[in-house]
Copies of this chain bind each other. A is one copy, B any other.
Amino acid sequence: MVNILMNFILQMPNAKPFLFTSMSPALLHLYNASQATVVIIDVLRATSTIATALFNGAKYIIPVDSVAKCIELGRQINCVTAGERDGKIAEGLSYGNSPFEYSRLFIGGKILVLTTTNGTRLLHMALEKGAREIVTGSFVNLDVVAEYLLQQKNNVILACAAWKDRINIEDTLFAGAVIEKIREHFNIECDASHIAANLYHKASGDLFDFMQRNNASHFNRLMAYGLEKDIRYCLEPNLANVLPIYEAGKLKIY
């Protein structure tokens, strides 16, 4: 009965699509991915680096969920293998998860095989849950993500990669930034989305300062590794405004 009603509502010409925010991979199962565009969000740094590499001319990116698979693919095809565990370059891989590693000169025309602690894992979870469509988002491609969601008029799940399932500030902030841009065109019966929008509203002006003042965990971790430059880049809107869409194992520009 509820399903019939839901289908009816969704078929109404003026019905707004739904928007949900999953603040941790451990909450993704609560939302119906098979009816939605899932936006994978891993601001520090996987989805910022994915947008940057594609913006700088990478042919495509193969996201894999383990270091072993990354190494194996590196043996099979001509590609750059890269990955990070706990914020550092993973053992056995040559490159890490910093957007600054992927200049046009280095990555242009190449295939990048990437594995990260949270982002690529979440992407594979969304796949397993039968997501209708998967894209990746971060501040560096904020506008193009928001425009795409508006254009598609599909249900949306903003899926935060978090840190080992613990909710984080930066991914929640990005969800909030997207919601601020598109909220009027969606039906948002989701407290997590309203929490994200309020957080972004409170932080906006200076996201770096907000994260510092709020003792954000991964911010502190990366600062301790001397990666302030990475953080500042990843919090800057629209520096790599392309839309990575996942299809048949590859992330490509839409």
Query: Which residues of A line the B interface, CB within 8 A?
Result: 23-24, 26-27, 30, 163-169, 172, 188-192, 194-195, 198-199, 201-203, 214-217, 220
Contacts and interface: CB of A to CB of B under 8 A. Distances in A.
Contacts of A198: 198-199, 202-203, 214
Given A27-B27, A198-B199, A198-B214, A191 B165 contact: no
A199 B195 CA distance: 7
A216 B194 contact: yes
12 contacts: A23-B167, A24-B27, A27-B27, A163-B191, A166-B192, A172-B195, A189-B215, A191-B217, A194-B216, A198-B203, A198-B214, A201-B202
Contacts of A30: 26, 164-166
Given A24-B27, A26-B26, A202-B201, A166 B195 contact: no
Given A169-B191, A188-B215, 11 more contacts: A26-B27, A27-B166, A27-B167, A167-B195, A189-B220, A191-B214, A198-B199, A198-B202, A198-B203, A198-B214, A199-B199
Nearest to A20: B166
